[in-house]
Structure 1
Amino acid sequence: MVFDQTPYSCRVEWGRRGAREAAERGDIVIIVDVLSFSSTVISALEMGAVIFPYPPHLDGEEYANIVKAEYILGRAEASKRGKATLSPVSFSHEHANKKFVLSSMNGSFCTWIAKKTQAVLVGGILNAEAVASVANQISKQRKASITIIPCGEQWNETREYEDTLRPAVEDYLGAGAILSYLGGDKSPEAKICMAGFLSVREKIEDVIWECGSGRELRERGFDADVKHCIRLNTYKTVPMLQDGYFVDVRKYFT
């Protein structure tokens, strides 16, 4: 039998393979990629933008032409042109009702893999309580389990036989934050993840600021991104994938 944390209704699975397993079970999936896919999607929808997630191994620019959207470029290139980027702070109310295609190695890819399951939500530190509230209601309505997918990062220059997934502490803590608001029976993996968050809740901003991914972004000049993404429960926006793009479904749930 495949490792799947049954019979618990709240589970934690890592990365693309975890997303596939959760989708094949028909679970409600919550994608967590704190730095920065999840935070960018949440922030963009908060500003009224429309985001189409797309995997990086396919032609995102061609897809953007098909859906009549702007293809989001990398942080450095887009910032030079004054365009929206994977950086969540690059979105403002000027982007309301504009469509964007967002590709990333982790969050977008995991979303694309899980897209055929009954509900794909996007969560992070920014909206932990709000996304958990919606997931709780969907789970009750549909009698479905919930799997949180901390996406992690990808190692560069891997050698033969080496794993490419690099578990990321910010995604683990983001998953733990959401779990702390979820009902249902939690697997041992989920309980430990939640405990990790609760143990650093009062200093989570400092922890992520100093973690490997936080330091990487800061050294590249994106301090503002890190500061933005680690603000607990700042937004009530809850992105859900519908017809290939994310919509804010909070208005449908109380």
Structure 2
Amino acid sequence: MRVHVEWGAKALEQATGTAIIVDCLSFSTALSVACTRGANIFPFGTYEGGKKLAACLSIDCVGKRKEQGLSLSPPTLDAVKPGQEFVLPSPNGSNLSTLSKAKYTFVGALRNAQAAANAATEMGEDIVIVAAGERWHGDGSLRPAFEDQLAAGAIASFLTGHKSSEADAAIAIFKAFEDDLLGALLGCESGKELAERDFQQDVEWASQLNVTECVPRLQTLELTYEDIGMKAADMPCDMSPNEKIRFYSSSQL
């Protein structure tokens, strides 16, 4: 079994075995919290399109931070009930989820690092851990994010098999900061930005290592987005309404 760490959408579009999506601040962390509570989550790459998807499915759409109710802020999702369904829009982790061509796709974070490694190993395929990264303002190109490489390294550290140099490098970063994960996240650009916006608690939740054995696993409905009333204008530019609807379910190991 080969273990590799890669960045961004292209890695998922080319994946053939098992993929683990890592968007530590905050999609992966939020999803791990919600799935631990037993929720089913529909990812979508844009907020407006996510609201349309939620309306078509007659379920809720998670709001933006600072709005009341459920949001991408992980603590708000700790109150969801088993079986609750909602759409979780995100330009990074959610968007990658809709693009994955991997045979099996999971979501990993620091909170479920070992469980994610175990779930991926059970599939018996080569594993690519895909760090989502951020987007540069302006051209929208990929900006590698420290927090995603840190969490990818944590997951890779619990995997056996032949590791690529990229995987070893991510593990080295994780080991270097393992004793103070919160300090590491608060020191990176994404963590500082959240703390400055009064969301330091989000960073604190994201820094917790192996606190859940729940691993969100991507599933596919037989229905397409078009079947429920979505149109091309509702979709991100790299998606078609003819694609089948995807959602994450709880996988407790």
**TM-score, normalized by length of structure 2?**
0.86
The worse-fitting range, judged by mean Cα deviation, of 206-215 and 241-250 is 241-250
- Of residues 144, 151, 164 in structure 2, which corresponds to 1:167? 144
Please, which runs of 5 or more residues in structure 2 have no aligned partner? Answer: 221-245
Counterpart CA distance in 2 for 1:43 and 1:89 is 8
Counterpart CA distance in 2 for 1:54 and 1:179 is 26
Does residue 5 of structure 2 align to residue 15 of structure 1? no
Counterpart CA distance in 2 for 1:57 and 1:72 is 9
Q: Deviations over 1:61-109 (max 9, x none)?
A: 2211222221112112x2xxx3100111101334432211011111001
Counterpart CA distance in 2 for 1:124 and 1:111 is 15
Higher strand share: 2
1:57 deviates by 7.7
The worse-fitting range, judged by mean Cα deviation, of 64-73 and 121-130 is 64-73
Asked whether the 8 Å contact 1:72–1:103 carries over to 2, the reply is yes
Does residue 5 of structure 2 align to residue 28 of structure 1? no
- Of residues 241, 245, 248 in structure 1, which corresponds to 2:247? 245
Counterpart CA distance in 2 for 1:133 and 1:32 is 15
1:216 deviates by 0.4
Counterpart CA distance in 1 for 2:92 and 2:159 is 24
**Could you say which residue in structure 1 is the equivalent of 2:91?**
105
Counterpart CA distance in 2 for 1:138 and 1:58 is 35
**Could you say which residue in structure 2 is the equivalent of 1:62?**
52
Find the residue that maps to 2:204 and give its secondary structure: helix
Supply the AA of the counterpart residue of 2:249.
V
Alignment of 1:1-254 (within 5 A): 9-22=2-15, 26-56=16-46, 59-76=49-66, 78=67, 82-114=68-100, 116-139=101-124, 144-158=125-139, 164-243=141-220, 244-251=246-253
**TM-score, normalized by length of structure 1?**
0.85
**Could you say which residue in structure 2 is the equivalent of 1:4?**
none
Counterpart CA distance in 1 for 2:47 and 2:82 is 28
User: Would the alpha carbon gap of residues 150 and 69 (structure 1) be closer, same or farther in structure 2, given more than 3 Å must change?
Assistant: same
How many residue pairs get aligned? The number is 228
Q: Deviations over 1:7-31 (max 9, x none)?
A: x711111011222122xxx120100
Counterpart CA distance in 2 for 1:30 and 1:185 is 17
Q: Identity of counterpart residues, as a percentage?
A: 36
Counterpart CA distance in 1 for 2:34 and 2:80 is 11
Supply the AA of the counterpart residue of 2:109.
G
Please, which runs of 5 or more residues in structure 1 have no aligned partner? Answer: 1-7
Counterpart CA distance in 2 for 1:203 and 1:190 is 21
Runs in 1 of length 4+ with deviation above 6 angstroms?
none
Supply the AA of the counterpart residue of 1:166.
R
1:240 deviates by 0.2
